[in-house]
Amino acid sequence: MMFYLSKIVWGLFQPSSLIIVLFAAGAVLARSGRHRPGTRLLAAGAVLYAVLGFTPLATWVMAPLELNAKASAAKNLDGAAGIIVLGGAIESATSLGGDAPHLNESGDRMVEALRLAARYPSLPVFFSGGKADLFPREDRDSEAALALRFFGAFNLVPPRLRFEDRSRNTYENAVEAASELQPKPGQKWILVTSAFHMPRARALFEAQGFEVLARPVDFRTNGFDGWWRPFPRASEGLRRLDLVAKEWVGIAVAWASGQLSPRRSF
């Protein structure tokens, strides 16, 4: 129930959606004769669109997470028990594309998994990802099924490649991975995910008993270098802001609900 509620609430209140809500509410009030409040809401929507879309605000909010990920990245991966790759990088295959899985902007996760698998040929690879859609379609493959096809094209196949297809978010990734892999004290697991996502993912996996060797990829910023640089298109700024705002909200929710390890801090 909480999964569906969180999807609905976030869909309505993420930054880009709030702008649409303001414009829609302003237009309704203006058409109903309440011109002053309607105009104010329309103006507020226009200001937020400009500020959130064009200014480097999204970069300022994302940079701390990526700097945290860089600082915590493991320098030595020797002695690891295995490689864990989190979903979120594969889009559904389409018939127009020959039914091949398509990587999205987080595709570095999959590329890094292949690089690590080649570098450490004795390590098992575990992929975690199910169907995260609010209304999943029965005829649509889970992300794990698509990952099996993607990795299979590079000869990374079972039994070395393992997976779970039940998780729908990062907390469930950690819970399902722990159930499947049964991490033991002293074992170290390489965790591959996007840099902005690594702090939360690492904390959630540690809370499930994993000793994590962080392998962040898919860096979207250069830290605070170029902190003044605006976005050329509002859609780019809003896209990044939606992404990183969701991450910070996820951290807050995980902390408030007791999902994080008590010894872990950000």
pLDDT classification of 262: cutoffs 50, 70, 90: low
pLDDT mean across residues, the chain: 90
What confidence score (pLDDT) does residue 141 get? 81
Residue 37 has pLDDT above 60, yes or no: yes
Q: Which of the given ranges, 3-7, 112-116, 146-150, 224-228, has the highest pLDDT on average?
A: 112-116
Q: Rounded to a whole number, what is the largest CA-CA distance in the chain?
A: 71
Residue 1 has pLDDT above 70, yes or no: no
Residue 69 has pLDDT above 60, yes or no: yes
Count how many residues are written for the chain. 266
Determine phi and psi for 134, rounding to 5 degrees.
-65, -40
What are the extents of the domains in the chain?
Answer: 74-219
Residue 33 has pLDDT above 70, yes or no: yes
> May I ask the CATH architecture of the domain 74-219?
3-Layer(aba) Sandwich (3.40)
Residue entry with tokens 């200014």:
55
| Angle value at C-alpha 61, between 55 and 65, nearest 5 degrees | 145
Per DSSP, the three-state class of 128 is strand
- Residue at 84: amino acid letter: I
What confidence score (pLDDT) does residue 100 get? 76
Per-residue pLDDT, averaged over 8-14, amounts to 76
What DSSP line would sit under 115-135, residue for residue? HHHHHSTTS-EEEE-----SS
Residue 147 has pLDDT above 90, yes or no: yes
